[in-house]
Amino acid sequence: MKGPKPRPAIDRLLAKAVEEDGCWLVKSGLAPNGYSQVSVGSARKLIGHRVAYEFFISDIPPGLEIDHICLRRNCVNPWHMDPVTHAENMRRQHEALWHGRKTCARGHQLADAGVITKQSGALTVRICAACYRENNRKDRAA
């Protein structure tokens, strides 16, 4: 063997992370989707938070993805992660998005307008009722 042994991916990943409110945030070299990544060899890149989870906690069962309970995609603190199915991950993101919301993206008061709940596959989707009516009207006008 020649030269120094390359440092394990986990070491290189953690060397880039900074602690903030309990999160271990990686702020450089992020993937376009905002996830941290760490290169292995010359061509391969691994998703940083999966490397951290598998190092500190356990292997991620096939088919599961990592939900960040801190909602920070670039956090690599494995205790902020929860392996879930894709459907559960989507459901949680949706819940987080609507949690404690008073107005929709267009500024309707949800308490007045109401919220429509629809089932879309495994996902329960909530839509502002005022937006929903407007969208329907546009569909008919088109």
- DSSP secondary structure code for residue 109 in this structure: B
CB of 88 to Zn ion, least distance (A): 18
Please, which of residues 104-123 interact with Zn ion by CB under 5 A?
A: 104, 106, 108
Which span sits near Zn ion by CB under 5 A: 6-14, 30-38, 49-57, 98-106? 98-106
Bridge partners, residue 38, by sequence: 46
Binding to Zn ion in span 29-68, by CB under 5 A = none
Cβ neighbourhood burial of 73 (10 Å; 0-12, 13-18, 19+)? middle
d(CA 132, CA 137): 9
Q: Which of 17, 23, 26, 90 binds Zn ion (CB under 5 A)?
A: 23
Q: Which listed residue (80, 81, 83, 90) binds Zn ion by CB under 5 A?
A: 80
Both tokens of 47, joined, read 């998703």
Sign of CA dihedral 28, 44, 89, 107: positive
Q: CA–CA separation, 24 vs 18, rounded Å?
A: 5
70 binds Zn ion (CB under 5 A): yes
CB of 43 to Zn ion, least distance (A): 29
Residues that bind Zn ion (CB under 5 A): 23, 70, 72, 75, 77, 80, 104, 106, 108, 128, 130-131
